[in-house]
Structure 1
Amino acid sequence: MVIAGLIAAPLFTTVFAPSAHAAEAVKIGFITTLSTPAGYIGEDERDGFNLAVTQGGGKLGGVPVELVVEDDGLKPANAKQAADRMVASGIKLFTGVNFSNVLAAVVPGVLEADRFYVSLNPGPSNFAGENCNRNYFVASYQNDAFHTAGGVAANELGYKRVVLLAPNYQAGRDALSGFKRTFKGEVLAEIYTKLDQSDFSVELARVRSLAPDAIYQFHPGGVGINFAKQYANAGLGKTVPMLMPGFSMDARMVAATGASSEGFYTTGIWSTAMDNPASRQFVEAFRKAYGRLPTDYAMQAYDTAQWIGAALKAVGGDLSKGDAFRTALRKADFTSLRGKFSLNTNQHPIQDVYLMRIERSASGDLAPRVVRKVVSDDKDAYAAQCRMPL
């Protein structure tokens, strides 16, 4: 697979294509965040997806593919413009978006054009419930999943009084709603921050004054790195335990925060320490290819590529066979790096969720280590609202 070049457009745009049979390749629109402090997330998603393509010799499921990548700059309007251009150019299959507010701008137009979208990260509640669609699939989780598991974990850890913090956007609101759905103790406060916030001194002062048993917080990417560092620098890490979803302290964030993250609890579907052959091989291959440990985002992107590949194989790469491609996606006939993976009626995953703790390995590296499974065969609460059109 080689870089074919740049396309003139308002956004930074790259096309990754197989070296042969490019005319026969299935184009996949990959809109993601590659700039801003959250850009590393999109980088890991792109690289995880590309690893699967590279391992397949420029193919997924034996079908040549061409990955058309655009940076949305974490701006919904940019992402919508990119998606509209791609739809107009004839692209029928999309993935890549990593924030729920951006996804909300992209998906409606894609689905209205009767194209396919496979989400490799966000799973907002509205698309899982009443706005579910036969051409919309999720490879990661419904947004609440890690958070409902967080509520279960908080109960098991004995936390009775907690403070909740999250950015004030769809995924942040879903996060705290999910936690409250299963948490049996008292929520002292719900604190909403800005998605691009860098200074949390006011919020941390309030946490200190409330003196909770623990906090549950959701801040992904660079915002989460700043939050964790400031939490530790304020001395709260030693007095008020922190519980959070895995994407609020992924492998890149652990490396950036260092000792500040040690001892924090996370919930998630996977970690680099997951002990199964496919996962071990993926971690080794990703590290060899890119010189760093993969995040959960990279794992989800790799799984998404393998899932898409299985469906492309079933239709011989012919996306005009929409019914057959849809049926193949619903079968989810691929080996997930996280272990068990199947689809609920709203085309969101059924999977296990774990409690993890960030600890040092024998070599001294910090990484999430599985403490125990907290939810088996997790199904989101919105599937009952989904009336999936045929």
Structure 2
Amino acid sequence: MGLKQLTMAAFAACLASMAAAFPAAAQAPIKIGVLHPFTGPLALIGRESTDGFTLYFEQIGNKVAGRPVTLLKEDDAANPSQGLERTRRLVEREQIHLLSGITSSAVAYALRTYVDQRQVPLVIMGSAGANDLTDKQASPYIFRTSFSNRQLGAPIGQYACGKLGLKKIVVMASDFVTGYEQSAAFGEQYGKAGCTVVKSIMVPLGTSDFTPFLSQVASLGADGVWAMFFAADAIAFVKQYDALGLKAKLPLIGPSGLIDPALLNAMGASAVGAMGPIYYTDSLDFPENKAFVQAFKARYGREPGATAASGYIAAMAIAKAIEAINGKVEDKPALLAALRQVQLKTPMGAFQFDAKQNVVLDFYLGKVAAGGSGYTLQVVEPLEKAVDQYGVAR
């Protein structure tokens, strides 16, 4: 065989090798990291969000655009240093294509620079509402399907002052990023309406005995209490608020995390009457929501809350973007462009990202009531439509 023939043979062998490799690459798993607290005071939220996320991928056979999907779950325990360490593990050792999850705003801030520098697409679900993640520290790699803290805290401020007639309020919140950002958003809108926050009481995350903090409330001359607590903290707070006799004297309001449907049966009758601006409840009258609630109850044996819906929608958005680029997740610019353009009909209604990649939400006034099979979050009336991440209705 001459030199020319050898060269042609080598070229043909190379082409054959490449042709064989491409189908194999196309079938390689898409690796998605799921970082949430599965232990600690925020574990209930991490579980809820992950269950919603997992459910959607199960419904589509854990496969998108012909490629299997593998979910790699890590526990950040709502600890910023642990969250960053687990993110590095997922990115550098497991070589994930996307990251999702994040319940703690403090964890989200801790890993923001890392995911931006390493160019890791991150879709935040659950409850990491840190304002600056989609504002001053916005990154082309960071998206959010849950909410910003400002977006969650603001909608009931003027309503509480005007329509509810609560002219003086005590603010109580968890002593970390989320508590400060959500209470600031509430206080700003409440103050604009001409009403007064008489005192802000910040409580350590993971508190089990709220008595030292609640004992300050009765003597402050307030008309009500606005409170921001999540998961196990919310359950303990609401039950003790009632046990100390405050529920009968001072209406309790707060952001949706305080009265998430996933917590209500654990709170029991103590939660009845509590109100807040909500963007999701299992009673929203959308076909997509009815199907989601039925599937979630069948899979997990309980009602889904807002964080479960957020996780489900994050999975929907990721899958939609991957489908749009025919599964080629290795092409990060194409994947990011496809995520930005996602529009969906979801359990929460129409979904899209804003210009800085944060979800736009409709809010309703929700109120806890006793139902035939437990405790439910009922929609009283529409509150604000198309609220952006700054807490402003479009």
TM-score normalised to the size of structure 2? 0.88
Q: For residues 26 and 210 of structure 2, what CA distance do their matches in structure 1 show? A: 49
Q: Which residue of 1 aligns with 2:19?
A: none
Superposed displacement of residue 198, structure 1? 1.4
Q: Which residue of 2 aligns with 1:249?
A: 259
Question: Would you say 1:182 and 2:189 are equivalent positions?
Answer: yes
Q: For residues 63 and 261 of structure 2, what CA distance do their matches in structure 1 show? A: 28
3-state SS of the aligned residue for 2:314?
helix
What amino acid maps onto 1:167 in structure 2? S
3-state SS of the aligned residue for 1:370?
strand
Q: Which residue of 2 aligns with 1:134?
A: 140
3-state SS of the aligned residue for 1:340?
strand
Q: Which residue of 2 aligns with 1:15?
A: none
Question: Would you say 1:147 and 2:156 are equivalent positions?
Answer: no
Q: Which residue of 1 aligns with 2:174?
A: 167
Name whichever of 115-124 and 55-64 sits farther off: 55-64
3-state SS of the aligned residue for 2:339?
helix
Q: For residues 382 and 323 of structure 1, what CA distance do their matches in structure 2 show? A: 30
Q: Which residue of 2 aligns with 1:345?
A: 355
What amino acid maps onto 2:164 in structure 1? L
Q: Which residue of 2 aligns with 1:110?
A: 115
Runs of 4+, deviation exceeding 6 Å? none
Kept after mapping to 1: 8 A contact 2:280/2:305 = no
Kept after mapping to 2: 8 A contact 1:60/1:306 = no
Question: Which residues in structure 2 correspond to 1:1-390 (within 5 Å)?
Answer: 24-60=28-64, 63-89=67-93, 90-121=95-126, 122-155=128-161, 156-183=163-190, 184=193, 185-361=195-371, 363-381=372-390
Superposed displacement of residue 216, structure 1? 0.6
Q: Which residue of 2 aligns with 1:3?
A: none
What amino acid maps onto 2:115 in structure 1? V
Q: For residues 66 and 157 of structure 2, what CA distance do their matches in structure 1 show? A: 42
What amino acid maps onto 1:352 in structure 2? D
Report the structure number with the largest CA radius of gyration: 2
Name whichever of 82-91 and 277-286 sits farther off: 82-91
Q: For residues 186 and 262 of structure 2, what CA distance do their matches in structure 1 show? A: 24
Kept after mapping to 1: 8 A contact 2:269/2:370 = no
Q: For residues 53 and 337 of structure 1, what CA distance do their matches in structure 2 show? A: 15
Identity of aligned residues (%): 28
Superposed displacement of residue 364, structure 1? 4.6
Kept after mapping to 2: 8 A contact 1:140/1:349 = yes
TM-score normalised to the size of structure 1? 0.89
3-state SS of the aligned residue for 1:341?
strand
Kept after mapping to 2: 8 A contact 1:107/1:117 = no
**C-alpha deviations, 1:10-67, integer Å up to 9, x for none?**
xxxxxxxxxxx99611100111111124222211111111110110011246642110
Counterparts in 2 of 1:354 and 1:114: CA distance versus 1, 3 Å: same
Q: For residues 29 and 159 of structure 2, what CA distance do their matches in structure 1 show? A: 45
Counterparts in 2 of 1:22 and 1:256: CA distance versus 1, 3 Å: farther
User: Which runs of no fewer than 5 residues in structure 1 stay unpaired?
Assistant: 1-20, 384-390
